[in-house]
Structure 1
């Protein structure tokens, strides 16, 4: 079985932990080859939120691409991939994707994923949303993208922030059919006492 390629982008929204944990989980996955992009604002958030630098995060990826290299392999529909996850996705990146700007390699790769009818998942991070955010999310959804705000589920009773992050990432990986052990499958509500 050949490895599936998965493009992962880290942009300047809060929640850099989602992109890093995703890379950590996929690093040892025999069936997935990761292609990483980090925006300049994403680098700032990696440092601010996790005390990590670009090189440390890039070391987690199979292949690293420069955001300014719009001629990279992932900028073409002939580059076969399972799709792309933007974790986290800033409102600027969302707007660029919604309007087809392709102004850097992150938004170009997202545009390619959409035009090739592959899976695009945007883990949008902002609160509260304004009307422009909501309209951009609608536009991306209408193009076939998946808007996936990283909202934790509490029904599994997470005991740590790491478990909350992993539960969300497990749901994202499910969208790509990638096997994982990040979160248990929902077994239904437990019987309540009266």
Structure 2
């Protein structure tokens, strides 16, 4: 992975607007941060649309990734639109989810064969950049958290990247509740679904 070329506005915009997602190899450490450093009492739940917190788990075999050295990897994977779910339990959201599943994946429809992620082992990368020991503190934090950084990197055109991780068999989610009530329709999001020709269906 190269540093962003500041002479290319599109590349600079991608890095400036797309955050790395922080993961931990240690489930307990991930739950520590999920619970706001242990301040919240979280309980697993299987009741959809009543959860308040999410724990995402990535299952990636680094042996199948491209190793750029210094803890940086490039990983390709396939999406699975069948796994898409509605954002709310109402009929319209459910119908929209069914349409989205049938239409498929916009990235794949754009010509991509597979999806892409940039993976960074934080401790390994920071250590490789620490010639003057100025990063000792950051390295210790990364070591404590067993941290990895994940950056979605799906090319949508020569100058645009898709900054989302689509539904796929490589990740799962566990639902938790902190005991507070949640409006199941709060995240209801309806849009227009188009076919490969741009026609609204």
TM-score grouping bracket, smaller chain normalisation: under 0.3
Higher fraction of helix:
1
* TM-score, length-scaled by structure 2: 0.23
Structure number with bigger Rg: 2
**Whose relative contact order is higher, 1 or 2, with alpha carbons under 8 Å and at least 6 apart?**
2
* TM-score, length-scaled by structure 1: 0.24
Higher fraction of strand:
2
